Structure 1
Amino acid sequence: MPGRPRTRRRPPPGRPRPLAAALGLALLLAAAPGCGSGESAPPHAPAEAPPEASAQAPPAGSPYWVDPESDAARQVAAWEVQGRDSDARLLRRISERPMALWAPGHDPGPAIRRAAKGAEAAGRVLVLTAYNIPHRDCGRHSAGGAAGATAYRNWIGAFADAVGDARAVVVLEPDAVPHIVDGCTPAAHHEERLRLLSEAVTRLKRNRNTKVYLDAGHPAWIPDPMKLVEPLYQAGLGQADGFSLNVSNFQPDTAGREYGARISGAAHGKHFVIDTSRNGEGPLTGDGDEAWCNPPGRALGTAPTDRTGDPLVDAYLWIKRPGESDGPCRGGPAAGRWWPDYALGLAARAKE
């Protein structure tokens, strides 16, 4: 839909490996910039992970788990081996900070259990994204999702079972509600989608330590936030802990806080979280519909923390994993694939 700012969501990175093999894999990553995988499988389908993962200390002010086996961490290892020490130091601005794990679409269990085990060992909170709703992304760069309602119910059940009693924050189905509001998702799918989202909230909230945030887009996408309130409630906002904003986008923190406060005011004071992973320089302007896709000159934003100074903002999170492509635009790889050159640019331009 020309002229409409969009967000695009990313799947998790490729198969995590044991740390003993990290250097070898990292060398391969460095030799092939932009590749998370050379396969033709959909970008939402990472493979299984080993159960072990060493703990890594999170930055001050953050209660969230840092994955020691992320693509960024493996890239740092590769560059250190190659003697690219200055680049490696810059990329640590990403690798040493917590990011959301986007659960794989084929089987979320192994990846979530690995991460939950690591988070528990570190005494930290796991941040997860559930992104597998049927008819996802209106058939665009991140198209895919579960084959139907039954498949999605089974998937979200496996997702929730894998989280179990771990302390976790779940960002539920980026784009799903805004794509109903903007009409991108055909009307024939609206009722089923809202029902599936509501059921997903109910299932996830059966886990005693899980917080759930339904996605509500961003202010440049749905300018009138009141249009989101009713569908958010139909999608289960009443049972959820709140909503998420700016996932995979670039809107400034101030814009997110103001927008979120308007939704909260019409939603009985519900709290929200904001994705600050790439909004350090704000959005690209003057590029119309493509401003969201691998825009140049962007930077990392506020580091993940639950100390926001705003009573309505529960956390600033890195939901989009910095360095993963938005799609095959501006020389980038497929959606969700690791792109070290872009990651380095985000880190180099960061203000902290």
Structure 2
Amino acid sequence: MPSAAPRRRLHSVLGLLALLAAAPACSGGPAPAPGPPAAASPGAPAAESPYWVDPRSEAARQVAAWEAAGRNSDAQVLRRIADRPTALWGPGGDPGPEIRRAGAGARAAGRTLLLAAHNIPYRDCGQPRAGGAPNAQAYRKWIGAFADGIGTTKAVVILEPGALAHTVDGCTRAEHHAERYRLLSEAVDRLKRNRNTKVYLDAGDPASVKNPTDLVPPLAKAGLEHADGFAVNVSGFQPDAAARAYGARISERTGNRHFVIDTGRNGEGPLPGDPAQAWCNPPGRALGTPPTDRTADPLVDAYLWIKPPGESDGPCRGGPKAGTWWPPYALGLARRARE
């Protein structure tokens, strides 16, 4: 009978080779900075994501409509959006009913609800079409209804995209700054009265704020001390590395506060050329890192899809008004998503 020794030696050699193959390559330099996790295959269900997927989202309804019309191939591609969690932006009238509906779904599924509050007075530079609460009293009532709608639901709220960035870029008039800081600080405190709610103040992105440390004083005045952190790249197209570097500079000046990054449309980065023309429905963009709280980064709490991919930025490049679902643009983002 043949000896077992040669087989044992062979198994030992194979085991050593497997260990060597699995070990990271040696390097004389420092370890690379943490990056986003490898993206899940587009179309895969968000099994590892803690966030709720709305079965009544625009993307989900579009998938159902296309399947009913026999556009099965397009519907399957669009599932790369429909099957992943995106933030619900509270309606500008009474936000309570819609938030309560979504909260009930999130609780039933055992998931966290993603929300964006976007109704500050003089919103979006105060342009007439921009909307927002008509005054401070109306905003306090609105944010109270928003918070009441959440109740005990486990939730993450992105507070007022653009509100602070517009106080440093000249978009919001100086006489409105003090009121805005006060309203944001009050909103943080009201939302944090909900024991299961996390709040992240929006802090712009590298395309809108050239010096991120300019946001440090406004964030402090807006109640960052009582919030869970801040958000960057909301509705933006900056790649993960650029958004992370931007956020890290703010974090360094705010006591290492954590932040979240909007990755919904940053898969191909920003459109090259004039930044003033690149923010509104830029062509050729793609979905970015799928939503997750597993970032392997000590500063980044989550990669989120805050601006729902497929919603128009405004009536430019043939798009409908801001916030309107635009199926062709959504399909393009999904088709260009990297495997």
The TM-score, its normalising length taken from structure 1, stands at 0.83
Post-superposition offset of 1:339: 0.5
Q: Which residue of 2 aligns with 1:95?
A: 82
Pair 1:285-2:267 in alignment: no
* Structure 1 letter corresponding to 2:165: P
2:64 alignment partner, one of 77, 90, 94: 77
Structure 2 residue runs without a partner (length 5+): 1-43
1:178 alignment partner, one of 142, 165, 183: 165
Pair 1:107-2:94 in alignment: yes
* Structure 1 letter corresponding to 2:317: R
Q: Which has the higher contact order (CA 8 A, sep 6+)?
A: 1
Q: Which residue of 2 aligns with 1:316?
A: 303
Pair 1:227-2:214 in alignment: yes
CA RMSD in angstroms comes to 1.2
CA contact (8 A) 2:45 2:83 kept: yes
Richer in helix (by share) = 2
Give the Cα separation in 2 of the matches to 1:185 and 1:82. Answer: 46
Q: Which residue of 2 aligns with 1:205?
A: 192
Poorly superposed stretches of 4+, deviation over 3 Å: 139-142
Give the Cα separation in 1 of the matches to 2:128 and 2:296. Answer: 36
Post-superposition offset of 1:258: 0.9
Post-superposition offset of 1:81: 1.0
1:303 alignment partner, one of 269, 280, 290: 290
CA contact (8 A) 2:271 2:278 kept: yes
Pair 1:257-2:244 in alignment: yes
Q: Name the SS for the 1:251 alignment partner.
A: coil
Pair 1:348-2:338 in alignment: no
Pair 1:162-2:155 in alignment: no
Structure 1 residue runs without a partner (length 5+): 1-56
Cα offsets for 1:261-285 (capped at 9, x unmatched): 1111110110000000000000001
CA contact (8 A) 1:58 1:98 kept: no
The TM-score, its normalising length taken from structure 2, stands at 0.86
CA contact (8 A) 1:194 1:234 kept: yes
What count of residue pairs does the alignment treat as equivalent?
Answer: 296
* Structure 2 letter corresponding to 1:336: G
CA contact (8 A) 2:207 2:275 kept: no
1:195 alignment partner, one of 164, 167, 182: 182
* Structure 2 letter corresponding to 1:107: D
Cα offsets for 1:20-39 (capped at 9, x unmatched): xxxxxxxxxxxxxxxxxxxx
Give the Cα separation in 1 of the matches to 2:127 and 2:280. Answer: 12
